[in-house]
Amino acid sequence: MSTAPSPTTLDAADPREDIEVGVLLANGRLAGRSFCDHAEAEAWARADQGEQVVEFNHVCECDM
C-alpha cells in the first residue's frame, strides 16, 4: 500500500518566484548569458551604450 505525500511534506517552489536577471542590449535583445544576481548583471552591462538590467520570469513571461 502506498501513501501520497501530504501537502506539508512537499518541497514545491512557487514557479512565479523563479526570477531571472538578464541584460537587455541596446538592440532590444537579451544578452546570451545568465547572471547570478542583479549586481553581477549591472557590472557586466554597458549602461553608457544603452544596455539595461532586467528581471523576468520564464513561466509567466512577465517583466518584474
**Grid cell for residue 23:** 541584460
- Look at residue 6 in the predicted model and tell me its pLDDT: 55
The alpha carbon dihedral of 42, 45, 50, 55 has a sign of negative
Q: 4-38: per-residue pLDDT in tens?
A: 555 555 567 887 788 899 999 999 999 999 899 99
Q: Which residues pair with 24 in a beta bridge?
A: 30, 52
Contact 16, 60 (CB under 8 A): yes
Contact 21, 35 (CB under 8 A): yes
Q: 44-57: per-residue pLDDT in tens?
A: 999 999 999 999 88
Q: Which residues pair with 20 in a beta bridge?
A: 56
Whole-prediction pTM: 0.69
pLDDT of 1 > 80? The answer is no
